[in-house]
Structure 1
Amino acid sequence: MRLTKKDVSVLALGALGGATAVIDTEDAAIAAHEIDRDAFGWKKYPERIDLDTVRTTLRHEGEAKNPRIEGSIQNGWHLTPHGVAWVGANQGLLGDVNITVAPTSAAAQRWRAETRGSGAAVNRVRTSEAFRLWTQGREFTPREAGGVFRIDEYTPAKDRTRKAAQLQELTRGDKDIEAFMKDAIPAALELRAPAGRQDKENQ
């Protein structure tokens, strides 16, 4: 499989922890260049990073119909649930590439402080009302699903997918929770803000 520039940018974010943190654009650029110098280096001086190419690639992937990343050049980028799943299925494509850059964003540090590891995340899911109902084969509401991800009607759309992807990544490897996520994430994202709030977000 030949990696596209978009594929490389997604893998770079995944390698930097973009499933559980917001990654600075410049950090993503360094990692993408380490994966594919030809694609993200200057033509005459491939050892130099072509930051404009990285920015354009990230922006185009974020604008895709079913994007694997979300964010902005100024605020940084993170994987969506689709991106988390894609990186998990294609991790082997990185081969022996060694990513030396470490994410430096304050958002990454805040998230690690809040979650305190995957154990707390797993416990949060297992003690939720939505998970209890799911294990009993019963339906749960979008509001109950949102509670798992700390999403409510007032959570901005850009934060919803980020929170869903973060929790999905932290609980990866727990088979029943992974199965639960396939039902819980779409339900949580269905939460609707009050009419006035929706109009304001769409402006």
Structure 2
Amino acid sequence: MGKGELTKQTVLATATEIAGRLGLAGLTIGSLASQVEMSKSGLFGHFRSKEALQMEVLAYARESFIETVIHPALAAPRGERRVRTMVDRWLECSLEREPGCLFVSADTEFDDQPGPVRDQLVRDHRDLMESIAQMFRTGISEGEFRPDADPEQFAHDLYGVMLGFFHAHRLMNDPAAASRSHRAVDALLDNARI
């Protein structure tokens, strides 16, 4: 990785942290420039517009999520252990990282704002839901889950648990948010087992 790309990755890490606190809409090239001690023109050379910066931040956050949550899950044995690994990593990362989940806050910001950022968020969420459903399908093919179980419904329900976790953890500051979420996932898996 060259110096320019290394600088860009460092800037994106800071931008992702800022967007997690202030939202994607609150992230500007000017505020980011002062945070990373670069000129606005230097940052503009990397991103060209606020929207391009937002898209790059989403890509950075997506890759980070894939690396820290999805890849470890895919390395686990197929079936329930794979699903549990995904949930465990997702909760661990969410508890370790402050200020929270960039995607959850961006969803609220952009759910009714048409354009490229919203379109990318929709693609990211569809990809995530398909990844969860596919992990569940492998559990069906391994004989761990009922053959008539609905992978898309499982993905929907699991994502609902995670949204509940973010709300309880971030807004409500509930110290039991993770344990309650684990119990909710246990119930989903109990319902899906043969």
TM, length-normalised to structure 2: 0.39
Query: Which is bigger in relative contact order (C-alpha 8 A, separation at least 6)?
Result: 1
Higher helix share: 2
